[in-house]
Structure 1
Amino acid sequence: MLLQPATQTTPAGERAVAPRIAEVRTVPYAIPYRKPLRFASGSIDVADNVLVEVVTSDGVVGFAEAPPRPYTYGETQASIVAVIEKIFAPAIIGLSILDREAVRSRLARTVGNPTAKAAIDMAMWDAWGKTIGTPVHRLLGGFTDGLQVSHMLGFDDPDTVAAEAVELRETLGISSFKIKVGRRPVHLDVDVCKAVREALGPDAELYIDGNRGWTAAESARALRDLEDVGLSRVEELCPADDVLSRRWLVSQCPVPFVADESAPTPADVTREILAGAATAVSIKTARTGFSGSLRVSHLAEGLGLEAVIGNQIDAQVGTVCSLVFGASQEITSRSAAELSNYLDMADDLLDEPLFIENGYMRVPKGPGLGIQLDPEKVARYRVDL
């Protein structure tokens, strides 16, 4: 079947053919973290991401980034570059920048590779926003102009984690924190949570993410031990593959139980919710792009679920993508979004730094994603030359 040319309306009201995808480029880069982030499913001490650029026939360049998470999705920096250059780019070059569903269909012929697919999708949105001079945030829905920020705290001893939380509240006004758990014995993480609560007082929001590190029985024990901490929600405490024990755990959980890596697609969300394996969902644009994230958020809204913006340990470009999407939808704007872990990076690729004030981050106002890359920094940190 022949694809019909996509069209756009010019300012004068004339119909014109929308630009087409002329090139898809990958730029692998590496920026170290000042300190490693450790959690139950792995650790990270360098942002070895892939910048993905979609170039249109008009010369507009849209970009996004793909963060490899081999311990979660099986992708590496090398595999992301290879699948885009050898399979995805040849499949979509020549399509209109507006043919997002056609692109989605062609990428779906290759299984897996979620962050590579997501980056292409978001780069297409960025290119279209730049083409028509409109922020992607508005194209997606434009519900509000910013989000409350939540920070993710990795494994460490109780005093160190508590001190980090206090410093972030005092310097940036952040008062929402995800605490990484999943170690054995369970009391190691229980002690951390209690120390953070004691240091911050009753007004801070605290929630935990196990990255599937505990069994259901260990998770239930931890929830009992943490009753006085006042958690707002919990996430992936035990593996979703432990079908009956996970259902047993969720049935007695007193707060929303968030599906994250167990439910990256609308189909996965439907399965987990109907199976009683979760009661809320985490949306990560790094793995579902903007188009897939819209699907998940609309599904969550229809099912009456809480939907939160999670962190793929994103660098600055990925953080902006999460911010832009989260602020565009009412359902995701209700909760603090995980937007601040780029703070632990030694540098970035942007020409202007991101800014958190009073625990809040505002959406950039420019067209597309509203950000620009610093070409000197891109050249300095790229690793393919």
Structure 2
Amino acid sequence: MKITRVEAIPFAIPYKKPLRFASGEVHTAEHVLVRVHTDDGLVGTAEAPPRPFTYGETQESIVAVVDKLFAPQLLGLSPTRRETVHARLDRTVGNPTAKSALDMALWDIIGQSVGLPVGELLGGFTDRLRVSHMVGFAPAAEMVTEAERVRDTYGITTFKVKVGRRPYGDDVEACRSLRQALGPDVELYVDGNRGWTASESARALRELEDVGITFAEELCPADDVLGRRWLVAQSRVPFIADESATRPAEVTREILGGSATAISIKTARTGFSYSQRVAHLCEGLGVEVVMGNQIDGQIGTLCTAVFGASQRSTSARAAELSNYLDMSDDLLAEPLTIQQGMLRVRESAGLGIEIDPVKLARYRQDG
């Protein structure tokens, strides 16, 4: 079985409600559908969601790097030669979501070729995950209304609250309002997207001590080495490294350097192969992991769920799997469903992704 063709198809689907946070805001899912074809007729599918304010990639750059640099290096290879694939892709610096989408598409092909779900090949720990929901910037009352709607409709009881506004009083008020409205049994954690300084973060966390925050994620800039260490050392809230820990080496640096005590794994930036390495590294270092979200569509969300459910460590906590609910549409022929706060992975061979051709024709941007 050999790779014969690689497609990078740009598409754009508006959000019903934009997600706003400290490093930017998203109004339209301007993503790239990546498909890898083989001479056996199998097609592996994944999604690359560019986040220029985090990784520097754009929709145009992902299409260009896949078409002009990556695809020519993959043609003729067997999809099972993942190490060779990554050795060739890594000759090009950066481009994490483009590389990750190709990796996941190859896993999809491998699963289809042996008639097994990818989750079984990765570890097969469970078939479902608890879901957490990200609540973006808005007045406190609107954030409460959104959280209550998501809880009542989907049974979700874990919420990641976007913070990092200046002044930070709006964020403190929002967290207090959410706790008061949702009660003590709902889990809340905060994500600053690098919006505060270390001193602002310390003061805000002191004011939130009685709210009961489970985690704090990337409150201050990733390159504020001493400030982050100072903040983590004095805080009683565990700190998740996200944008600062995009590769295994960065995970080691953040944990051993004292800048974080937990790690967010995002398949959109580390695929399945490197996500597995990060998960195993975290297990060896004795740190917790959470499955994060790149504001993925349903394809990316399904990939996150597949990996998260496959490992014991990544299935222990609620995973960020619900923000596709704010998109006005999607490309999947069979939409994902969240019931009683859980999302189940599919039992189909590979990833179980079937693209609706009518929707793809409607939303693709390449004519």
TM-score normalised per structure 2: 0.99
Alpha-carbon shift at residue 92 of structure 1 (Å):
1.3
Match of 1:359 in 2: 341
Report if the CA contact (8 A) 2:172-2:207 is conserved: yes
Match of 2:155 in 1: 173
Structure 2: where are the runs of 5+ without partners? none
Aligned with 1:53 (options 13, 35, 55): 35
Alpha-carbon shift at residue 280 of structure 1 (Å):
0.4
Match of 1:28 in 2: 10
Match of 1:226 in 2: 208
3-state SS of paired residue (1:65)? strand
Match of 2:310 in 1: 328
Aligned partners of 2:184 and 2:293: how far apart in 1? 24
3-state SS of paired residue (2:37)? strand
Match of 1:381 in 2: 363
Report if the CA contact (8 A) 2:130-2:343 is conserved: yes
CA offsets, 1:110-136, max 9 Å, x none?
A: 000000000000000001111121100
Aligned partners of 2:121 and 2:360: how far apart in 1? 28
**Mapping 1:207-218, distance limit 5 Å:** 207-218=189-200
Report if the CA contact (8 A) 1:290-1:325 is conserved: yes
Aligned partners of 1:281 and 1:57: how far apart in 2? 39
Aligned partners of 2:359 and 2:210: how far apart in 1? 47
Report if the CA contact (8 A) 2:62-2:98 is conserved: yes
Aligned partners of 1:294 and 1:138: how far apart in 2? 13
Aligned partners of 1:102 and 1:113: how far apart in 2? 17
Name the aligned partner's letter for residue 361 of structure 1: L
Match of 1:235 in 2: 217
Aligned partners of 1:240 and 1:35: how far apart in 2? 28
4+ runs deviating over 2 angstroms: none
- The alignment status of 1:96 with 2:97, answered yes or no, reads no
Match of 1:194 in 2: 176
Aligned with 1:139 (options 95, 105, 121): 121
**Mapping 1:40-119, distance limit 5 Å:** 40-119=22-101
Aligned with 1:300 (options 261, 269, 282): 282
Report if the CA contact (8 A) 1:178-1:209 is conserved: yes
Alpha-carbon shift at residue 282 of structure 1 (Å):
0.2
Aligned with 1:318 (options 297, 300, 305): 300
Match of 1:15 in 2: none
Aligned partners of 1:378 and 1:256: how far apart in 2? 42
Structure 1: where are the runs of 5+ without partners? 1-18
Number of corresponding residues: 367
- The alignment status of 1:260 with 2:242, answered yes or no, reads yes
3-state SS of paired residue (1:31)? strand
Q: Percent of aligned pairs with the same residue? A: 66
Alpha-carbon shift at residue 370 of structure 1 (Å):
1.5
Aligned with 2:320 (options 338, 344, 348): 338
3-state SS of paired residue (1:237)? coil
Match of 2:353 in 1: 371
Alpha-carbon shift at residue 371 of structure 1 (Å):
2.5
3-state SS of paired residue (1:241)? coil
Aligned partners of 1:163 and 1:254: how far apart in 2? 29
Report if the CA contact (8 A) 1:240-1:277 is conserved: no
Alpha-carbon shift at residue 20 of structure 1 (Å):
1.2
Name the aligned partner's letter for residue 144 of structure 2: A
Report if the CA contact (8 A) 2:154-2:340 is conserved: yes
Alpha-carbon shift at residue 186 of structure 1 (Å):
1.0
TM-score normalised per structure 1: 0.95
Report if the CA contact (8 A) 2:293-2:321 is conserved: yes
- The alignment status of 1:288 with 2:270, answered yes or no, reads yes
**Cα RMSD over matched residues?**
0.6
- Greater Rg, structure 1 or structure 2? 1
Aligned partners of 1:256 and 1:169: how far apart in 2? 25
CA offsets, 1:226-278, max 9 Å, x none?
A: 00110111100001211111100000121210000000100000011111010
Aligned partners of 1:371 and 1:357: how far apart in 2? 20
